[in-house]
Amino acid sequence: MAITIVHPRILEAFGLDFNHYQIERFGSGLINNTFRLHGNSGRSRDEFILQRINTHVFKNPEAILNNHRRASEYLAQHHPAYFFIAPVQLKDGKFLLEWNGDYWRMLPFVAHTFTVNEADDPGQAFEAAKQFGRLAHNLAGIDLSLFTPTIPNFHNLTLRYSSFQSAINDAEVERREQAADLIEEFEQFSQIPITYEELKTDSDFPDRLMHHDTKINNVLLDDKTGEGICVIDLDTLMPGKLISDIGDMVRTYVSPVSEEETDFSRIIIRDDYYEALMRGYLPELGNTLTKTEKEMLFYAGQFMVYMQGIRFLTDFLNGDVYYPTKYPAHNYDRAKNQLTLLERLNEKEAVLKKIIRKYLK
């Protein structure tokens, strides 16, 4: 049955007849409203993904489509064999529809694929990392001046650390006292934001076009072979640093439990998953990596885990105004979870750096 929230004129703007499609909510994404369109013809080319962009998160939806389109055009010209999902054009030639104050975009649906929210085996981590690495490699020569940040300062650790310090100063006494030990523990790792501040101006640490959200469910896998097919969810495709994408993979692939886990003893570093993602990602980048980027590969995990940890703790100190919570100490526990993951990562630094060196050869 069609979801009435999708007005017929939205499909008509994309050149589709509303009466020829069945529409259902789709996916597990929490930001945009996503729908799958099933064409009555039964042909795979008549299936699409329709999304209403969340403008509370993405203040400039035009930037999302412009970035996506420019990347698509570049890849079509320079890497025509590479499979990249291009946005569907409207009848008026645009790629973004504004309807009653909402913004909509459409993408082709890729049949015979699936996603996983967590890696069930190292092979899935390898396939996902390989796809993100291939995307970064294929976009390495693109003109970054053509791209607009879709979330300004998204992975700016300097800004996140400054917000953390402000939250400490401005927090209610009860919350600051409750978090005192955790604050002190995060402060012991202040070298991580210091290193980032130094890297920002390092000429050997260039900006690249990065995905910025390399969770494993942002890669489509073949439903028969399990092989990676393509990268999806390109809302945060924008200029950034290599450590963003590698760091997010480390943060979300190597532990068997997520940031929601409160039994912190279950947080461990799975060497085989860490190796799988490095084996998938690094060979794809090949000789495009600079000397400084190679030296910062282990730091990438520290960078992302630390940043996410202080973001959770900042929100706790601010009274839980950003991340949805289910109980009073939810953000505190998330921050403690990430601090534990950072500690486990550091304990294995020698082993993990050896893995990195293996795949830089």
pLDDT tens string 140-182: 999 999 999 999 999 999 999 999 999 999 999 999 999 999 9
Which residue matches tokens 């469910």? Answer: 217
Q: Which CATH class is domain 8-111?
A: alpha beta
Position 1 pLDDT exceeds 70 = no
Average pLDDT over residues 53-64: 91
Q: What is the mean pLDDT of the chain?
A: 94
Could you tell me how far CA 52 lies from the centroid of its own chain?
18
Burial of 116 (0-12, 13-18, 19+ CB in 10 A): middle
In DSSP terms, 252 is beta-bridged to: none
Total residues found in the chain within this entry: 361
| 98-114 confidence digits (pLDDT tens) | 998 999 999 999 999 99
Burial of 307 (0-12, 13-18, 19+ CB in 10 A): buried
Residues of the chain with CATH 3.90.1200.10: 122-360
Average pLDDT over residues 75-98: 96
Q: What is the dihedral of CA 108, 221, 351, 245, to 10 degrees?
A: 0
Question: Minimum mean pLDDT among 37-51, 114-128, 149-163, 254-268: which range?
Answer: 37-51
DSSP SS3 for 339: helix
State which H helix or E strand residue 356 sits in: helix 349-360
Position 27 pLDDT exceeds 80 = no
Position 198 pLDDT exceeds 70 = yes
Where does the pLDDT of residue 78 fall: very low under 50, low under 70, confident under 90, or very high at 90 and above? very high
Please give the structure tokens belonging to residue 119: 């890696």
Please give the structure tokens belonging to residue 91: 């009848």
Burial of 133 (0-12, 13-18, 19+ CB in 10 A): buried
Average pLDDT over residues 231-256: 97
Please give the structure tokens belonging to residue 229: 């097919």
Please give the structure tokens belonging to residue 147: 């791209």
Position 4 pLDDT exceeds 50 = no
Q: What is the dihedral of CA 154, 244, 53, 151, to 10 degrees?
A: 20
Tell me if 280 sits within 8 A of 128, measured CB to CB.
yes
The half-sphere exposure of 4 on its side-chain side, counting CA atoms within 13 A, is 0
The half-sphere exposure of 246 on its side-chain side, counting CA atoms within 13 A, is 29
- Topology at the third CATH level for domain 122-360: Aminoglycoside 3'-phosphotransferase; Chain: A, domain 2 (3.90.1200)
Closest of 132, 134, 139, 144 to residue 75, by C-alpha: 139
Which residue matches tokens 């294929």? Answer: 138
The Cα 31–Cα 40 span in angstroms is 28
Residues of the chain with CATH 3.30.200.20: 8-111
DSSP SS3 for 222: strand
First and final C-alpha spacing in the chain? 54
The half-sphere exposure of 102 on its side-chain side, counting CA atoms within 13 A, is 16
